[in-house]
Structure 1
Amino acid sequence: MARVVVISIEGEDDLWVADLDSRTVQPLAAPKSGGLQTVADLRATGAVVTKGVNVAVVVKSTEAALSGHYDG
């Protein structure tokens, strides 16, 4: 099973790739074609696109997440 996630935060333009196995997060260049470009285009209109993710929340800091807090 792939353990790589493409993520972005509402209100920001950047896309990121999180590789869970290598424990890295890197910026992703804006896609020029394909399915990921379609997703990026939808996101730009305000749509929320999820597939294969069952939890995604924004927290103020790593410390908040580690202590079990998030803005819900």
Structure 2
Amino acid sequence: MATVVVISIEGEQGLWVADLDARSVVPLDPPQTGALKTVTDLRASGAIVTKGVNVAVVVKSAAAASSGHYDG
């Protein structure tokens, strides 16, 4: 099972890598080639790309998520 997720949030620049095992989130340098470059190009044009993710929601804070609230 994969434990690393590349994420971005609408309206924000850049990509992030969330390593669930390491419990860390760090910025990802913009990819220059490959499939992830294609994905970032699609994102720049407004496309939403998901693969292997079955839940993704934006919340205002960790406290909001913990209490069951999300922006929807």
- TM-score, structure 1 length as denominator? 0.97
Unaligned runs of 5+ in 1: none
Q: Stretches of 4+ moved more than 3 A in 1?
A: none
User: What corresponds to 2:62 in structure 1?
Assistant: 62
Q: Once superposed, what is the RMSD of the aligned Cα atoms?
A: 0.6
Deviation sequence 1:12-60 (CA, Å, 0-9, x none): 1110000011110000000000000000000000000000000000001
Unaligned runs of 5+ in 2: none
User: What corresponds to 1:35 in structure 2?
Assistant: 35
1:6 equivalent to 2:20? Answer no
User: What corresponds to 1:22 in structure 2?
Assistant: 22
Which amino acid letter does the alignment assign opposite residue 9 of structure 2? I
* Identical columns (%): 75
- TM-score, structure 2 length as denominator? 0.97
Shift of residue 11 of structure 1?
A: 1.0
Corresponding residue pairs, total: 72
